[in-house]
Amino acid sequence: MIHSRAPIAFVAPAVILMFIILIAPVFIAGTLSFTDYNLGNPGFNWVGWKNYDALVSRTGYKKMFSASLAYVLIVVPISVALGLGSALLISSLRFGGEVYKTVFFLPVMATLLAMAIVWEFTLDPIVGVLNHVLRSGCDIGWLHSFLTGSWLGMDATSSWYGHGCSETFPLWIGDKDYALGTIAFIGIWQAFGFNMVLYLAGLTSVPRELYSAAAMDGADSGWERFKLVTWPMLGPTHVFVVTITSIRSFQVFDTVEALTRGGPSKSTYVMVYAMFEKGIRQNLIGVGSAITVVFLAFVLILTMTQVYFVNRRVHYS
């Protein structure tokens, strides 16, 4: 035991900052969610559960929950699958693996807001490259008939591509049916390289002997080896990757704020954006705090689920 004030002096700044910056705000948000507080008014009134009632009853907020949930449900499975898929392919390559790894990791590094703006230009209905390429495909006979399915005798104009050729291709972020999917696409583009690296790390920890053991048990095909050895041995990695991707997708903000501002017709009105719009832009701090509390609850549930799975899991190491 060191009888000096050193430990206290070392720990005190961190503890004080933790209380002021991390813990106090959580309680402040909890308290304010029961008030009609706003910046500029000296006092406030207690309003009970009114703010939470609004969250469950008003259509705007119902759209908020469904947009957030849909975003998470699109981004998590696809970016996890792409991360695992690319990790498996890269780790089985003879050469060139490092190059793909670098390329796939680039979006993780790059400023998301900046890249969102580039995607916006790419997806622009008039000058964007994507619709330009789609349009130019319409004039190439064989490609048109292949993509519309008319080579199989299907009606060209009833297909998605044929419709795009004869009318217009989607506005992407400007169309309420496509906006969320498009924002989710950017989210996947950004996130899967991160998952890939986690899976690559997970794969290196799978003991080689297990594959020969599986081969002796008659697992000859790559698929069987994957099913018997790789997939179960990656258990802890799966739990970590899925949780962290879910938490990050719940926090999507940059792309929504820069490209759609929650629209069109609230199709991309995700939670963190709603928190920002209500609490900070419109100074409706009560409602903003209520969204904050619900958001925090979601994130904590996800984290607890992870802890539960990690503890329950058999560790092979």
Within positions 15 to 44, which residues make up the interface with another protein, using CB under 8 A?
15, 17-18, 21-26, 28-29, 32, 39
Options 141-149, 156-164, 224-232, 272-280: segment touching another protein (CB under 8 A): 272-280
d(CA 69, CA 147): 32
Q: What minimum distance in Å lies between the beta carbon of 150 and another protein?
A: 25
**Binder to another protein among 194, 203, 234, 277 (CB under 8 A)?**
194
d(CA 37, CA 59): 23
Exposure class string for 284-307: b at 16+ Cβ within 10 A, else e: bbbbbbbbbbbbeebeeebeeebe
Is 1 a residue that touches another protein (CB under 8 A)?
Answer: yes
Nearer to another protein by Cβ, of 87 and 229: the residue is 87
CA 254 to chain centroid, in Å, comes to 12
Is 154 a residue that touches another protein (CB under 8 A)?
Answer: no
**Binder to another protein among 72, 229, 254, 274 (CB under 8 A)?**
254
Structure tokens at 2: 């060191």
Residues in 198-237 at the binding interface with another protein, rule: CB under 8 A = 198, 201
What residue spans of 175-282 are helical by DSSP H?
179-204, 208-216, 222-225, 231-233, 235-250, 254-255, 271-275
Is 81 a residue that touches another protein (CB under 8 A)?
Answer: no
Is 197 a residue that touches another protein (CB under 8 A)?
Answer: yes
State the number of binding residues for another protein (CB under 8 A). 84
**Binder to another protein among 47, 117, 138, 156 (CB under 8 A)?**
117
Who contacts 13 (Cβ-Cβ below 8 Å, separation ≥6)? Answer: none
Options 53-61, 114-122, 152-160, 174-182: segment touching another protein (CB under 8 A): 114-122
Give first-to-last CA distance, the chain, whole Å. Answer: 35
